[in-house]
Chain A
Amino acid sequence: EAEVAQSPRYKITEKSQAVAFWCDPISGHATLYWYRQILGQGPELLVQFQDESVVDDSQLPKDRFSAERLKGVDSTLKIQPAELGDSAMYLCASSPVGIEQYFGPGTRLTVT
């Protein structure tokens, strides 16, 4: 069964450092999402791509976060500089036609 791949699974970084996460969606899924999930809360959408175009990045803190999906396949989410409040699980999800979303295993980020 096809799955969404994410790496790394865990990342510890110091405050003010740069960090990047990678996501490879299920083959053929045109829509890709990045979510942030703080412990005990539901996922919060950061950015949504349709192919290589950004559809929604209204909740992305653009002063420090950036996301790209250059060829409309895999995607990278970057944080620079990282802050203590960025500690969370970063989830990537993909969707074939914008209906059900399939999540990857996530990257747990700890900022010290």
Chain B
Amino acid sequence: QQPVQSPQAVILREGEDAVINCSSSKALYSVHWYRQKHGEAPVFLMILLKGGEQKGHEKISASFNEKKQQSSLYLTASQLSYSGTYFCGMRPAGGGNKLTFGTGTQLKVEL
């Protein structure tokens, strides 16, 4: 089953913050976050492997709550370059490395 992301779309003014959520009905081993710009391939942002783990990448960070099977991506002080569609990819616990991607969140940052 496909992970569910929220919100489906968000529009920000440059400098504003946003949170994108991703949830699964299955127990998880890891969560992967990607950003895809229109007509381009998804670009890897980060991976979270442990329950409760938080990671950061400049002004983009993420958390992973293993018990709730949820992950959140935090974008702070957004820049125009953050625009795109964000996908979470979830890998189930118990073996295998198949990623199932979420429904996607369209983010647009405006001046």
Query: Which residues in A have their C-beta under 8 angstroms from that of B2?
Result: 42
Does A101 contact B32, Cβ atoms closer than 8 Å? Answer: yes
User: In the complex, which of the residues B30, B101, B104 contacts A40, with contact meaning CB atoms closer than 8 Å?
Assistant: B104
Q: Is B47 interfacial (CB-CB < 8 Å)?
A: yes
Does A56 contact B98, Cβ atoms closer than 8 Å? Answer: yes
User: In the complex, which of the residues B34, B40, B89, B99 contacts A105, with contact meaning CB atoms closer than 8 Å?
Assistant: B40
Shortest beta-carbon distance, B60 to chain A, in Å? 15
Shortest beta-carbon distance, B31 to chain A, in Å? 12
- What is the CA–CA distance of A98 and B39 in the complex, to the nearest angstrom? 25
List residues of A whose CB falls within 8 A of some B CB. Answer: 31, 40-45, 48, 56, 91, 95, 98-106, 108
Query: Which residues in B have their C-beta under 8 angstroms from that of A45?
Result: 98-100
- What is the CA–CA distance of A42 and B3 in the complex, to the nearest angstrom? 10
Q: Please, could you name 17 A-B residue pairs with CB atoms under 8 Å apart, sorted by A?
A: A41-B104, A42-B2, A42-B89, A43-B87, A48-B98, A95-B97, A99-B97, A100-B32, A101-B32, A102-B44, A103-B42, A103-B43, A103-B44, A104-B41, A105-B40, A106-B40, A106-B41
